[in-house]
Structure 1
Amino acid sequence: MSHARVTRALVAAASATALLTLAACSTAATPSASGPASGTTSAAVDDKCAAYKDYGDLKGKTISVFTSIASDSEAKPHTDSYKPFEECTGATIKYEGSRDFEAQLPVRLKAGNAPDIAYIPQPGLLATLVKDYPGKVFPAGDLATKNVETYYDPAWKTYGSVDGKFYAVPVGANVKSFVWYSPKAFADKGYQVPTTWDELIALSDKIVADNPDSDVKPWCAGIESGGATGWPATDWVEDVMLRVNGTDVYDQWVNHSIAFNDPKVVAAIDKVGTILKNDKYVNGGYGNVKTIATTSFTEAGNPILDGQCFMHRQASFYQANWPKGTKVGEDGDVWAFYFPSMSADSKPVLGGGEFAAAFSDRPEVQAFQAYLASPEWSNAKADATPNGGWLSANKKLDANKLVQPVDKLSYQILTDPKATFRFDGSDLMPGAVGAGSFWTGMTDWINGKSTQEVADAIEKSWPKK
């Protein structure tokens, strides 16, 4: 289970109670390059559906969508977000969710029973499907391509592409470059939010000095996640790789243009170790360094709430894990700041997301895939998720529709022109590494193995071409 799937499950849980009745063909945000037409003659409805005119009259057409979101309550924000498309085009969207999604999708492709659209949790899986099932995954149509090129950072098109051909449009996003903290605890101690790596380390040292005879530590962490144990530590490495080596080296590492045990990679892991393998810094509320391997990632940040630790590096989706009643916000019990880079002028952002791929090139399927890349869908999805926990990187998403403060902060970061976005590295690597040896290797590293030994083992596991 990759951490992209963990992300999806947490986001679904955060929005599981979402209830919304959309008005017929709700007013869209900024009209997109794609758009479907309504078969009605009402001037008011025609106006609301103007952004949909290019999709054509799709009355009587059915498009099937297959995702990993199985329960009715979790699926409701998705099905609600399709209503404007259905009501303005006349099409019917048939939604199906399965908790065995990733096992079932290849079976269905092989059997000739593919869905029209499927939500793919990571680019690595998309590449596998394209290569293992030639001709089964269809390139995105012109309208979908235009929408992604118009409304998304160019990186998102890259992550939906395989061998230079664009297949899948982005349908969800998250930011991983966050450090969670207590604003009140910082204010009480006079601590300032750090803006550079050196300031982050200086703050950690200050917290150590302020608590010489106690178990209070600057950091708390946990990487236990059942069969996916180790993934939170891979996020640490990816964030630090971006910061110490830059995007070009990061891309080379992810693509295996440089080896996993290259000195640059080893140096980045060692940089992570200055925090995660430092007994003076971790693991507040739980014990020593090795407790990180046995502390559940879902509970790892809780010591912030009782003053046992001050900082916890985790993604935007971690907001779903705070105990019930915890206020998240700048004046709340917990809040988050951007994980600092080496200098305040540099702003690399690590994140993840999901993509919608098509397994048919019928016009109605191409139209629906284009809709999923449009501002209309992003805004409808935000409306359909009133409890928050979902985010799009679409530049025309109305940020006021995002009800959770962390979602708004994430959107600001994702759309900041100074930010440089890179997708979660392990989700781009072959499954044997990204969802295998990288996870287990980082767990071994926390448990005492040397950086070089772990990096060598992961490099050895990389599939031969």
Structure 2
Amino acid sequence: MKSMRRGKFVVSLAAIGVAGLALAGCTGGGGDSGGGGGDASDVDCTEYEQYGTFDGESVELYTTIQGVELDQMVETFYDFEACTGIFVDVVGTQEAETQINVRAAAGDAPELMIIPQPGLLNRLYDDGYVIPASADVEANVDEFWSESWKGYGTIDETFVAAPLMASVKGWVWYSPADFEARGVDVPETWDDLLELTATLAEDDSATYRPWCVGFGSGDATGWPGTDWVEDLVLRTAGPDVYDQWVTGEVEFSDPQIREAFEEVEKILLNPDYVNGGFGGVESIVSTTFNDGGLPILDGNCSMHHQASFYEAQWPEGTVVAPDGDIWAFLTPKVDPNSGDAVTGGGEFVAKFVDSPAADAVQQYLSSDTWANARVSLGGVISANKGLDPANAQSDLGRAAIEILQGEDTVFRFDGSDLMPAAVGTSSFWTGMNDWVVGTVNTDELLSFIDSTWP
């Protein structure tokens, strides 16, 4: 259910902050949701001269983004439209991921589309619908993005799609006041986290457990478990093995991948460690990911593993800050001397129709100008190196941007989103459910997932 994976990401973006600041330098922009911008005389067009001028041309930007996010996306084009003369028609629909196939096959493809998974991008390119990006777009990506981010938009050594927005996964949510009251500190390594968990488990309250966990997500139930495993594969086996794993070169039953499952097992399958406020290990599957961390507020658990989007799940009035009601730390490193290793998600802008106006819009979306304008509106982050973290609208957003921009940070895209659908959004998800309820043991789980690889 790829739309749910994108749905996770959309919520995570909306969670990082709220809209509030106007675009820097936008003195006269405005218009309706169709995107009409202000008069060029009201705008400083210096930043937009590089894109050229056009006489009333229109470019459709197709996306699954909706609601407030869609309005904010439209707003980022006001000055661009006023200065270039290009009308950017941002079309947002939940069905974009499926309808793009119908539209492309019928010869009605949009000029550009925001694509939320590399897997979908690859398929659309293989089908002959997505075409290579211009040299100017590639130059922007070379300047403002890391090699790994460029790689996700490169197919068969051809650069086709520019990164846009990003999310950081692997956060462990906790209550600073709870940690202080219990006399414990944020762990620096994975072993420290296991030791902390054992210490917290000494609390023999009937409903308390160190961790609260929820895998429930309708037809997509199980994906939170895959995030746990992906974090541990990256930390225990390293980025090269992670890359080989998501392409099938390294099997799930490989000892390096099995080690990651065994580390996750130490927490998720231990009835003394989970599932605070909900019941035993078996309650993980019936607990929704939305509710998963809420027992922290009731004192029934101390930690919850979930991506940055979870900021939106806390009840209204909950202060998310280092000295607030709730805060988060990254899943710790295995090697304390290594740089940060994070998993996450992202979106990519691909071109379906070749035109100078489409090139200009795609180039703008890959620039630091657009990244700073969009993040300043709230609700999103980006891995664009030209982005000023101060523009993020929350403490967590600023922390996530600094991690993404870190020189030593190793970033890898969500593994299940990169794997073939038969595995990543099917057997991997369902297998995690069977594992935590005890239907299969670790060996049976790994053999089962391997058997489903196309």
In which range does the TM-score fall when normalised by the shorter chain? Answer: over 0.9
**2:78 maps to which residue?**
83
Say which SS state the counterpart of residue 218 (structure 2) adopts.
Answer: coil
**2:372 maps to which residue?**
379
Q: Does the 8 Å CA contact 1:21/1:80 hold for their aligned counterparts? A: no
Cα distance, 1:14 vs. partner? 4.4
Say which SS state the counterpart of residue 326 (structure 1) adopts.
Answer: coil
Aligned runs of 1:3-14 on 2, under 5 Å? 4-11=5-12, 14=15
Does residue 426 in structure 1 map to residue 421 in structure 2? Answer: no
TM-score, normalization by structure 2:
0.93
Amino acid across the alignment from 2:422? A
**1:303 maps to which residue?**
295
Aligned runs of 1:20-419 on 2, under 5 Å? 22=23, 25=26, 45=43, 48-71=44-67, 73-131=68-126, 133-134=127-128, 136-209=129-202, 211-346=203-338, 347-385=340-378, 389-419=379-409
Cα distance, 1:442 vs. partner? 0.8
TM-score, normalization by structure 1:
0.91
When residues 89 and 436 of structure 1 are mapped into structure 2, their CA distance, relative to the original with a 3 A threshold, is same
CA distance in 1, matches of 2:187, 2:17: 35
Does residue 461 in structure 1 map to residue 449 in structure 2? Answer: no
Cα distance, 1:270 vs. partner? 1.6
Amino acid across the alignment from 1:319? E
Cα distance, 1:224 vs. partner? 0.4
Amino acid across the alignment from 1:337? F
CA distance in 2, matches of 1:39, 1:86: 9
**1:35 maps to which residue?**
none
CA distance in 2, matches of 1:313, 1:15: 16
Cα distance, 1:9 vs. partner? 3.5
Cα distance, 1:69 vs. partner? 2.0
Cα distance, 1:49 vs. partner? 2.0
> What is the alpha-carbon root mean square deviation over aligned residues?
2.0
Q: Does the 8 Å CA contact 2:13/2:167 hold for their aligned counterparts? A: no
Q: Does the 8 Å CA contact 1:20/1:80 hold for their aligned counterparts? A: no
User: Structure 1, residues 112-152: CA drift from partner, whole Å, max 9, x if none?
Assistant: 11011111111011111111x21x21111111111111111
CA distance in 2, matches of 1:93, 1:426: 33
Say which SS state the counterpart of residue 219 (structure 1) adopts.
Answer: coil
Runs of 4+ deviating beyond 3 Å? 11-27
Say which SS state the counterpart of residue 284 (structure 2) adopts.
Answer: helix
Say which SS state the counterpart of residue 253 (structure 1) adopts.
Answer: helix
Q: Does the 8 Å CA contact 1:222/1:300 hold for their aligned counterparts? A: yes
CA distance in 2, matches of 1:244, 1:24: 46
Amino acid across the alignment from 1:352? G
Q: Does the 8 Å CA contact 2:341/2:411 hold for their aligned counterparts? A: yes
When residues 26 and 401 of structure 1 are mapped into structure 2, their CA distance, relative to the original with a 3 A threshold, is farther
**1:33 maps to which residue?**
none
Amino acid across the alignment from 2:11? L
Q: Does the 8 Å CA contact 2:16/2:308 hold for their aligned counterparts? A: no
CA distance in 1, matches of 2:24, 2:256: 54
CA distance in 2, matches of 1:330, 1:15: 15
CA distance in 1, matches of 2:271, 2:16: 37
Structure 1: gaps of 5 or more residues: 28-37
Amino acid across the alignment from 1:111? A
Cα distance, 1:263 vs. partner? 2.2
Percentage of pairs with the same residue: 45
CA distance in 2, matches of 1:196, 1:116: 47
Amino acid across the alignment from 1:142? A
Cα distance, 1:11 vs. partner? 4.0
CA distance in 2, matches of 1:244, 1:9: 29
Q: Mean Cα displacement is larger for which, 2-11 or 62-71?
A: 2-11
Q: Does the 8 Å CA contact 2:9/2:167 hold for their aligned counterparts? A: no
Cα distance, 1:365 vs. partner? 0.5
User: Structure 1, residues 43-98: CA drift from partner, whole Å, max 9, x if none?
Assistant: x95xx322222211123111101111234x34101100111211221110011111
Q: Does the 8 Å CA contact 2:12/2:307 hold for their aligned counterparts? A: no
**2:35 maps to which residue?**
none
CA distance in 2, matches of 1:257, 1:404: 39
CA distance in 2, matches of 1:74, 1:153: 25
Structure 2: gaps of 5 or more residues: 29-37
When residues 58 and 39 of structure 1 are mapped into structure 2, their CA distance, relative to the original with a 3 A threshold, is farther
